[in-house]
Each structure stands twice: as structure tokens, then as C-alpha cells.
Amino acid sequence: MKTDTNNATTTTVYEVARVAGVSPATVSRYLNGTAKISDEKRASIEKVIEQLNYKPNVLAQSLKMGSSRTIGVLTQSLVSGYFNEAMTGIDEAMKDAGYVPLIMSGHWHASEEAERVELLIARRVDGLVILTGNLSDAQILQYARRVPIVAFGRKLEGKQAFGFCLDNYQAACDAMDYLIEQGHRRIAFIEGPPEQEDARARLAGYRDTLARHNIKVHPKLIVPGDFQESGGLLAVNQLLETGQRFSAIFAGNDLTAYGARLALYRRNIRVPEDVSIIGFDDLHSSMCTTPPLTTVRQPLFDVGICIGQIMLKMINHEKFTVDIPALSLVVRESVRRIG
Amino acid sequence: MKTDTNNATTTTVYEVARVAGVSPATVSRYLNGTAKISDEKRASIEKVIEQLNYKPNVLAQSLKMGSSRTIGVLTQSLVSGYFNEAMTGIDEAMKDAGYVPLIMSGHWHASEEAERVELLIARRVDGLVILTGNLSDAQILQYARRVPIVAFGRKLEGKQAFGFCLDNYQAACDAMDYLIEQGHRRIAFIEGPPEQEDARARLAGYRDTLARHNIKVHPKLIVPGDFQESGGLLAVNQLLETGQRFSAIFAGNDLTAYGARLALYRRNIRVPEDVSIIGFDDLHSSMCTTPPLTTVRQPLFDVGICIGQIMLKMINHEKFTVDIPALSLVVRESVRRIG
DNA sequence: TTGAAAGCGATACCAA
DNA sequence: TTGGTATCGCTTTCAA
């Protein structure tokens, strides 16, 4: 009942073999270089392939070989500069090995993430990359029994599973040290979603560094955010409306910093003359904000490369060691020395 | 010589059938609801599937059905907010129909694009979406003989091909009308890459609108850019260094506007008090620049939805009509009324 | 309603 | 070096 989608009849190894006067096995051997072929047949096959514009059906190959040369990537947002920088690295690291990423987004929603993972597995991806998200470690380990997994944004070690994260805590400490070194004492902090490990680590870095410098942690200076611009905007409004005094803001991430900066702009509070801002992530656009944002650089591209390399090793059952990329403070112009 | 990648033996319809005491055909029928099944067998199958945690092999299904339920998307950058907003729309539009996007990037390089397209076709995607890029229309039409194509960023009409673009020219005219209405006469324009149709259309809109208002088109006010922040920065530097006078800048796109804004900031030129800026694209972050950027909104998400819907129709050989989303000016705070 | 078997397009083993 | 053929996991006639 169903008509062919493609008008042109697809050419197959059989077709090529027939026209070239050889067996399909030989054509396959030619394609994969699996065995020596007489020059005569080789020439013939080459000609026919050219002439018929034959392209092997990857689906059939995958089925037969038990490997789709595809690796599934579960991201949380197709539009996030943060995730997409990592995606680029993954793609870069795997493409030379002939792997193609199949990307799906879980939108930070555990049940949707689980659904996507099942979809990816059903498509027989050779490996799975999970970029943060809300799945439990137990669930991931469970999936790892079906497919090798490398996760980013959580520590994980298992039979076919490996996960790592960057040292957000240390980087937050460094950022705070910098702020304090620049003379800031009353520093506001805009949180990220508490269910995200990274967000908690940054907050911890904030608190601990203050404590280490014997600066009182003022609870009113810690305001909730959501890692989005709107959260940053609201947070600063709240800070201002409740009359807090602060000379600097440590935003949970760059997006938050953007929102915070806008809230300040609205009230004619200058950055960095009146208030300093420091972010976290170093999104591409942070280079061009007004003023350019001082922030913590997350080397996401390198993370992606790293993920890809581990994935490759795992797929090939090779041992691997990991060199986790380091976070670093990038000083631009949104923080001013005071006092 | 090669060991199984997956430790667990994959369960198949045969396995399920054997355990459930039915034929594989019946299991398949159950899976697809292709025929009535006795309650008894149905229950039995259900139980076994559950117990064996059976998931159909999509690869095998695809091979058999001649459809991979995958649609290839050729984008130009994995990190571009511009493209990714469209991606989201495409994903949204197609996922309910069970289609999954397979994304590859051509990086604005015709030969790489061609390579990716071949890869996508080899994977037997059911359809292909081409987001702008540098392939020739002829090449695309050629590919369309093998797979249905919908292209964005070019007008195209063919047997299995359809392409559309947004009216960049008209939107550029609108933006210019707005600037002029606000009293601006000396308006600088930062170009995009001339090989991109959109860039040319915007420039044409700039020129023509000026002409229509009997305002002299001053060649020195038109400076090259590259649709990146750096291009915008350089362009403004050039403008300033060659001593041009201008009260407003029409940036070829938002990224360019960001760079331009930074160049101005560096020289203590205020926006919009001293110079107004208008962008094009309305990237998400343009909402939060300082000041928020007045720009032309490209409804990329809607474009994505539109692309997805057309794709679906094409795959199903249904007629379709297209309602091309409109561009619109979004007035924020980067343009000031003068004179 | 059900089962047997052919076939999707490739690969690789076994013989020759 | 080559060819014949079984097989990957599934769907779908065709018969029963």
C-alpha cells in the first residue's frame, strides 16, 4: 500500500555486482578493502559504481555489522551556547573515526531524558554521551549495561560508564578570591537551580571563600536565580528593593550576569564604577558585553574533545586516562578595584 | 575477530516469539498494531516483552521499511544561536511524527556541505533540510532527485525540492524607515559577507530606503563586516578612524551590532545618546545588551516549524501551501530620536 | 487470527 | 582471488 519514497530505484551491491559481472561478495570486498581483488575486476567495479552512482546503504551495513557508527548525545537544550560548544568538541573528536552524533534534548526533565535515551538506544547508537541533566546516577549505570556511556557534569565510574565534571567549587573560590583581592567585601551571590550540582558547588565556593577571609556571610546577599537572564534581573531587583548594600555581584552564570547587568542599567547603576559583576561560563558573547564580562571560563570545547576521546576508547574497549580541562578566571572589565 | 560491543545479547522478535510461544510475525503485528491478536497471545507477548525488556532494533526496521524516520539537517554552525533556534522548531514540528533530526554542519563551505549531504543520504534520511549555506541551487536540485529537500535561505521550487527565505529586503527597509523617522540622516551600514543573499538584501534595503528619502548614500558610511562581533568592532573602528560622522549604525546582524557597540564603548561613545544602533536577527541575548538592542526579529523558531511541516508533507507526498513567517522590527532602547 | 518464509542491503564464512 | 550463501532483526505477503 505504500509507494516508494524515492523515485530512483536504489542501487545495491547486487546491482553493481551484476553489471560488473562479479559477485556481491567481491563488490563488498572492494568497498571495504577486505581482500585483494584482481586489477581487472577492480577496474570493472570502480567503473560501475561510478556510473550507477552507487552509495552503500549505511542502514544495512549497520545492521549487519552491529554498529551504527553513530553516537547518541543527550543534551538539555538545542539553543544553549554552553552545551553547543561541547557538542562541537564532541563532533570534532569523533568525526575522523567516522562517528556521527545523533543529538537529542532532554530539556532538564528526567522523564524526557529517559525517553530520549531509550530512543537513542533503540537506534543502536554505539555510545551515549550525557551532558548533565537530571537522570540519577543509578539510572545511568543501568543504561550503561546496554551501551557505553560517558557523562559530563557528574562523577561516575562503572563498567561501561565514565563521568566527570569540572572543578566548579575551586573556580568559584578563585573568582571570590579575585573579588576580595580587588577590595570587595559585600558581595552578592545569585544562585543557580539548587538541583544542579554545578550551582551548588559555586555557592559553596562563595560561602567558603568568604569564611576563609573572615568575611561575614550575609544571607540577604544570597538570592535565588535560575541560570537565565530573567533570574539575574529579578535577583538584582530583589537585592535593590530590599535595600542591600553590595559592591560586587557574583552571578551564578553568564546568562544570570547579563540579566543582572540589565537590572543595574535600568537604575542607572554603572558597571563597574558603582557595582562590579563577575560571571561564570564565559559564553562567547561575554567578550562583547558592556563592559566585557569578567568571568570563569569553562573550556567546553575541550571538554567535548575529551568526551569524544574517552568515548572512542570505550567503544574500542581500550584503557584510557583522563586529563580533565581546567577552569580559569578570565579578567575583563566588569570588576573594579575598590577601597 | 571483533568482540561484541554490547555484553548483553540483544533480544529480538524471535526471542520474544519463542518465549511467548508465538511466531515472530505475531510479535511484529503486536508491536505495530497491524492486525488483531487474540487476548491470550497479546497478554503473553506483553509479559515477555516486559520481562526481557525488549526494544525493537530501529536499524532493522528502517532497512525493512525503507524509511529511517530520520531527517537530515545541514546547518552551518553547531554553535550559532541563529541556526539553533530554527533547529528547535524543526525538532518540535517533526518529533510528534516520530522523526528525529540528524544534524551535520557544513561550516559555510560548499565542498564540506556536499560531503555532509552525501553522508546524510547514505544514512538514508527520509528528508533533508538545508539551512542556507553555499551549495548551488543546481546541486540542491540534483540531490533532490534522491531525497526530498526543503531549504531555507534561498528560493527554490522543484520536483522534490522547496526553498524559501524571509523578506530581508523589506525588513531592512523597515528598519531604515524607522531610523529616518527618528531623525537620523547619516546612517552607517556594516555589511555582511557579500556571498550571502541575506547580506546583500539588507544592504539593498539600506541603499534604496536612503534613496527613497532623498538622502545621499555616502559610500564611506558603508563598511565591510563578517556577521561576527569582530567584524562589527573593526568596522566601527574604521568608521571612527577615517573620521566619518554618523548618528546611527545599521549593523548587518546582531553579532555585528555587539561588536560595534563594544567599539563605541571603548571610545566612550554612548549608546543611544551619542550614536544609535540597530541590529538584525534578534538573537536571544539582544534582549539583555546594554542598552537592549533595537533590531529586526527573525522568527527562526517559526521558520523551523514551517520547515518541519513542509518536510512532513513532502515525505508523505501531500500538497502543501506555505505561510512564510514575517520579519518584524522590535523596538528596544538602542535607538534615540534626534534632531 | 496465526505461521512460514521471503526479502530489505549489506558482510563474511566456507569452499573452491 | 573469487563466488555462493547464511545472517543481521524486522515486516509482510501468502496460505492456512
CA distance A66 to B333: 57
What residue of A is the nearest CA neighbor of B80?
A: A81
CATH of the domain at B320: 3.40.50.2300
Half-sphere exposure of A320 (CA within 13 A, CB side): 23
Q: Are residues B202 and B290 in the same domain?
A: yes
Say whether B193 sits in a helix, a strand or coil: coil
Nucleotides of D under 7 A from a protein CB: 1-5, 7-13
Predicted confidence band at A9 (pLDDT cuts at 50, 70, 90)? low
Q: Where among B44, B64, B84 does a domain terminate?
A: B64
CATH of the domain at A38: 1.10.260.40
Q: Are residues A25 and A72 in the same domain?
A: no
Express each pLDDT in B165-187 by its tens digit: 999 999 999 999 999 999 999 99
Structural domain count of chain A: 3
CA distance A230 to A259: 6
Residue A337 lies in a domain: no
B124 touches chain A (CB under 8 A): yes
Residues of chain B with pLDDT under 50: 1-7
CB A164 within 8 A of CB A322: yes
Q: What cell was used for B251?
A: 549593523
Residue B335 lies in a domain: no
CA distance B165 to B153: 4
pLDDT at position B233 is: 98
Q: How far is the CA of B90 from the C1' of D13 (A)?
A: 36
Q: Are residues B41 and B117 in the same domain?
A: no
Chain mean pLDDT for chain A: 94
What lies within 8 Å, CB to CB, of A75 at 6+ separation is A83, A84, A87, A103, A104, A105, A106, A131
Q: Are residues A293 and A306 in the same domain?
A: no
Q: Are residues A162 and A304 in the same domain?
A: yes
Q: Are residues A104 and A209 in the same domain?
A: no
Q: Is the pLDDT of residue A320 over 80?
A: yes
Domain residue limits at B256: 168-297
pLDDT at position A6 is: 37
Residue A151: enclosing H or E segment and its boundaries?
Answer: strand A149-152
Q: What cell was used for B151?
A: 531549504
Residue B331 lies in a domain: no
Residue A329: enclosing H or E segment and its boundaries?
Answer: strand A328-330
Give A168 to chain B, closest Cα distance, Å.
23
CA distance A88 to A108: 20
Residue of B5, B124, B262 with shortest CB distance to A66: B5
End-to-end CA distance of chain A: 80
Cis amide linkage into residue B219, ω under 30° from 0: no
What residue of A is the nearest CA neighbor of B107?
A: A88
Residue B197 lies in a domain: yes
Percent of chain A clearing pLDDT 90 (strictly above): 95
pLDDT at position B222 is: 98
CA distance A167 to A159: 24
What residue of B is the nearest CA neighbor of A264?
A: B290
Q: Are residues A238 and A221 in the same domain?
A: yes
The total number of residues shown for chain B amounts to 339
Give A216 to chain B, closest Cα distance, Å.
32
pLDDT at position B10 is: 83
Q: Which nucleotide shows the minimum CA-to-C1' distance to residue A124?
A: D9
B145 touches chain A (CB under 8 A): yes
Q: What cell was used for B246?
A: 554618523
Q: What cell was used for B108?
A: 559555510
Predicted confidence band at A339 (pLDDT cuts at 50, 70, 90)? confident
Q: Are residues B116 and B158 in the same domain?
A: yes
